[in-house]
Structure 1
Amino acid sequence: MKELHSFGWYAARIAPLMPKKAFKPVPSRLWGGLAYLLIVIGGFLAISLFELHPLLSFLIAIVLGSSFAAMGFLGHEILHGTVVRKAWLRDLLGAIAFWPLSTGPALWRKWHNLTHHVHTQDEEKDPDAWPTFEKIAQKPFLKWVYKLPFSFRASIGFLSLAFQFTMHGLKMFRLYIKEFKPAKRPAVWTQLILPWATWIMLLFIIGPVKWFFAFLLPLLIANFIVMSYIATNHRLNPLTPVNDPLVNSLTVTVPKWVDVLHFNFSYHTEHHLFPGMSPKYYPLVKKHIKSMWPERYHEMPLTRALAALWKTPRVYFKQSDLVDPYAGKAFGSLGNGLDAANIKPRKINMENKH
């Protein structure tokens, strides 16, 4: 593995090259959020008040799901403090943006800002890192799962993207709720319960069929869109003992119009260097990274990254290998022999590695 540097090491070298306005909040980003909020309200009203053809309801559900996802991307931006700086307003706007995904701002900042960003791809401390072979060898159920045919696991893994964000969010709530001070726990519970209460109340108001098109199907679509990015952020990269974003993170590329709709969420390495900077300026950060460390920077089209996820397993061995342990196959990670355009496994002996 290459010599590792902290995100601060890179940031200190790029920051002087950035315009001063890049380090200030950009409240104009909220106009995009307002547009999505109006689209969501309009979609809810259309499905709720009219007896629409199922095909039209399906098309509206796609728009709603895409809007849910985009609001989540903006919520992520807001809760990093890059849109507004006042804490109460940041949390209020973040809560509204994350309402469709039912994720509270206090939990998100604890899980994502304070833990994932600080300990990215640390096998013990990053709550989003995938397991090592040593971990699954200690858990009978996981050992059984990873003995299933790889093609079956890959298919289930991709189908699970449609509910993975929601399920992982609930897991993070169970993990972190006890770490909040007792006086703050009621607020964290409220931030979880209120969104779900909204969606359950909507079910009783409009009925199960309309609710399916107004909320459940859009939620599945939003999960899939959000997780298509999140799944490619780090899962092809190695685990690292030092939080080096140029080694443990991947930027994906999408058409420009998609970046506009998704608030530049594709610029993930840049985000890990400057989480407190508006994504509006990430293209400039990317330019500087590629100028200064072109051999270390990882980027690829989102479609290629997803295809690479399909073709590689999600178990780490010796931090830099992705292994299918009970089939005896290993794949390198990015920067460690993985060629996403030509993925080929090598045989390894996993016996006596427990």
Structure 2
Amino acid sequence: MSESSVSATQSSKRRRGSDYAELARWVRDAGLLRRRHGYYAARIAVNVLLLAGGGVAFVVLGDSWWQLLIAVLLAGVFTQFAFIGHDAGHRQIFGSRRGNDLVGYAHGVVTGISYEWWVGKHNRHHANPNHEDEDPDIEIPALAFSNEQARTKRGLLRWVAKYQAFLFFPLLLAEAVMLRIASVRAVLRREVNATWREAALLTTHLVGYLGVVFLVLSPLKAVLFILVHQGLMGVYLGCSFAPNHKGMPILRKDERLDYLRKQVLTSRNIIGGRWVDGLLGGLNYQIEHHLFPSMPRPNLRRAQPLVREFCLQRGISYSHCGLVSSYAQVLRHLHAVGAPLRRPHRPVQASG
């Protein structure tokens, strides 16, 4: 390589590295990293009131089949609590880690998900989104997100991968339960630092949740209530996270991009009004969230046009689409990945 080529390569790397620094200056100058304590106080208050209202309705209704409607309501409320826990894990609420952790652990008691385990897992995802062997969110046993992953499936998991586009939403019914199982496993394996605290919080949730449900409802109604509540919560969580990266480019093990492009090219925004912001907990601004994880949720909407304009100026692909279109893209990708497994094996013809 000539000296001029080396110089050009180094210049390109410096320019790319400085792109994010320049964007960060734009964001700071616009005041988009300032805390929004009032917003979060109001959001948490609304969630608590909804939870309390659901709890009162649950007790008043007693042993009634109408409780299944309360299960639907609480599935949404619990997921909204999970969104606040997500924001606390990214330190979006307070400037101090202690304040955010206090909110995160408190919300973990409600959702039954280990806060410390989830933060560690989620931070690994943020560091390397859609990167083979480095992003835990694409290392899901029941699904394949690349042809390489599909080829490694065996037995029942191979059959699931064949038809994963059709099974995707039914599989989400187990998402909330799987998160709780993973939380318990992390505590038992001491994969969290505050083992006893996490164990106490998870036990408090489990005993309190099951105790109240089986105290108020007959066994059959209690089981159906839990199935509806946990199943719909899993679907809600999965439908909030899946559109953000699934179906976007997957980076190979040896593939490296600068921070700005790594986050933008592997993420997808969901466009819509404020109802979409509320429904998806701000995760619909996935590109802005990945670029600035500590940015308070309500500021993401304001950051979106700024980040998009910055990317367009530099020729960086910026992906965004509607909610229904995002699910269609995810399902098409899953169907395409499973296609080689659906092709019948042709026996090799013997020669001679």
Residue of structure 2 aligned with 1:283, choices 290, 294, 301 = 301
Per-residue CA deviation, residues 273-305 of structure 1 (Å, 9 max, x unaligned), is 000111211122211222122351111111111
1:34-53 equivalences in 2 (<5 Å):
34-51=45-62
Per-residue deviation, 1:214: 6.0
Distance 1:143 1:117 in 2: 27
Q: Secondary structure at the match of 2:282?
A: coil
**Is contact 1:47–1:213 with CA below 8 Å preserved after alignment?**
no
Match of 1:336 in 2: none
Give the equivalent residue in structure 2 for 1:237. 248
Measured against aligned partners, the alpha-carbon deviations of 1:82-141 in whole angstroms (never above 9, x if no partner) come to 11234333222112334343112211211112x111121111011101544334434422
2:238 to 216, 219, 227: 227
Note the aligned Cα RMSD (angstroms).
3.4
User: Which residue type is aligned with residue 301 of structure 1?
Assistant: G
Cα pair distance change 1:64/1:8, threshold 3 Å:
farther
Query: Which of 147, 154, 167 pairs up with 1:133?
Result: 147
Distance of aligned partners of 1:276 and 1:252 in 2 relative to their CA distance in 1, 3 Å threshold: same
3-state DSSP of counterpart to 2:321:
strand
1:63: which partner in 2?
A: 73
| Amino acid in structure 1 at the alignment position of 2:88 | I
Closer/same/farther in 2, CA of residues 189 and 252 from structure 1, 3 Å limit = same
Equivalent residue for 1:269, pick from 287, 298, 305: 287
What is the distance in 2 between the residues matched to 1:304 and 1:260?
Answer: 19
1:187–1:141: structure 2 CA closer, same or farther, 3 Å change rule? farther
Q: Which amino acid aligns with 1:159?
A: P
Q: Verify the 8 A CA contact 1:25 1:81 in the aligned structure 2.
A: no
For residue 144 of structure 1, what is the aligned residue in structure 2? 158
2:127 to 107, 111, 118: 118
1:24 is aligned, of 17, 25, 34, to 34
SS of the equivalent of 2:212 reads helix
Q: Deviations over 1:123-160 (max 9, x none)?
A: 10111015443344344226632575x3xx32322111
Measure, in 1, the Cα distance between the counterparts of 2:31 and 2:229: 36
Contact 1:47 1:210 in 2 (8 A): no
| 8 Å Cα contact 2:113/2:179 also seen in 1 | no
Assess, with a 3 A threshold, how the Cα gap between structure 1 residues 7 and 203 changes in structure 2: closer, same or farther: farther
Distance 2:18 2:189 in 1: 33
Counterpart pick for 1:327 among 329, 339, 342: 342
* 1:175–1:42 CA distance, 2 compared to 1 (3 A): closer
- Paired with 2:213 and 2:267, the residues of 1 have a C-alpha distance of 39
Q: Which has the higher helix share?
A: 2
Unaligned runs of 5+ in 1: 316-321, 330-348
For residue 173 of structure 1, report the CA deviation from its aligned partner: 5.5
Kept in 2: contact 1:177–1:188 (CA 8 A): no
The TM-score, its normalising length taken from structure 1, stands at: 0.77
SS at match of 2:53: helix
1:229 shift after superposition = 1.8
2:171 aligns to what? Answer: 160
Number of matched residues? 317
* Residues 254-265 of structure 1: pairs in structure 2 closer than 5 A: 254-260=272-278, 262-265=280-283
Range that drifts further, 192-201 or 169-178:
169-178
Conserved 8 A contact 2:75-2:230 = yes
Structure exhibiting the larger radius of gyration computed from Cα positions: 2
Range that drifts further, 16-25 or 198-207: 16-25
> In the alignment, which of 301, 308, 321 is matched to residue 322 of structure 2?
301
